Amino acid sequence: MKLRLILVMMIISISMVYNYLGYDPLINVFRNNNRELPIYCVDTPEKKIAISFDAAWGADYTEGLLKTLKNYDVKTTFFLVGFWVDKYPDMVKRIDEEGHEIGNHSSKHPHMSQLSKEQIIEELTRTSEKIEAITSKKVTLFRPPFGDYNNRLIETSRGLGIQAIQWDVDSLDYKDYGTDAIVRRVLSKVKNGSIVLFHNNATYTADALPIILDSLQKEGYKIVPVSELIYKDNYYIDHTGMQKLLR
């Protein structure tokens, strides 16, 4: 028992040292190498982050969000569900025309890990086709509904040329805790390379957004769409979902 404890402590110590030095691939022998991960955040020395909005139900506050983003000269990424695109095509066009990136958020907002490869392909292609028909721009990003994924989803998405994106800062705006709670949570968790999750139709997001943007810009953060934050090649994704450049 004592020997086992010593071995465990040695593995943890080695892992911590290599992680600190940035050599995560060298310690993957202690982890599940077969697990596919989406991008949760990016390892970057720059004070640069991405802000994203998931849109599935409703658009009551989207106009206000767009006005605030325009006032602060900030471009973001909107992940849209297919049935939202069907219901609000003019808003999809508006989001695109104002310079924001549009990503795929599935067709019907299902738990994607429960779907077959064929069903996943249908969910992704149908929504991408709808978005591309409005914007004339290829969809390259996808956010799984509920943050739910498995290897089949990540591999299938990648095979379609679509990068799966998660987040490392959840505003929890959908819980309706209030404006101050959203502001405190986001500002306390943001760091270089963060991807922040909001929802377009949460009750207090439109009120919290200008406060957050003002504070982040004063701190020197540059806010960009997700595709301008992530690396396109010569990278790997570590066990935490952080995207890193190969050295």
Burial 34-44 (b: 16+ CB within 10 A, else e): eeebbbbbbbb
Per-residue pLDDT of 195-237, as tens digits, reads: 999 999 999 999 999 999 999 999 999 999 999 999 999 999 9
Same domain, residue pair 129 and 68: yes
State the total domains in the chain: 2
Do 237 and 145 have their domain in common?
yes
Query: Are 146 and 99 members of one domain?
Result: yes
Q: Map tokens 């924001």 to a residue.
A: 100
Over the stretch 57-79, which tens digit does the pLDDT of each residue have? 999 999 999 999 999 999 999 99
Give the model confidence (pLDDT) of 85-101 as tens digits: 999 999 999 999 999 99
Query: Hey, which residues are catalytic here?
Result: 54, 199
Compute the mean pLDDT over every residue in the chain, rounded to the nearest whole number.
91
Residues 26 and 100 occupy one common structural domain: no
Tokens 């697990």 sit at which residue?
A: 35
CA angle 163, 167, 171 (to 5 degrees): 145
| In a shared domain, residues 20 and 68 | no
Q: Same domain, yes or no, for 119 and 12?
A: no
* Residue 153: DSSP 8-state: H
Sequence-ordered alpha helix ranges (H) in the chain = 2-21, 62-71, 82-87, 89-97, 117-135, 151-159, 179-189, 205-218, 226-229
Q: Check whether 19 has a pLDDT greater than 90.
A: no
The CATH number that applies at residue 102 is 3.20.20.370
Residues 190 and 225 in one domain: yes
For 241, the domain range is: 41-245
Give the whole-number percent of the chain exceeding pLDDT 70: 87
Is there a single domain that holds both residue 19 and residue 81?
no
Identify whether the C-beta of residue 168 lies closer than 8 Å to the C-beta of residue 41: yes
167 with 111, same domain? yes
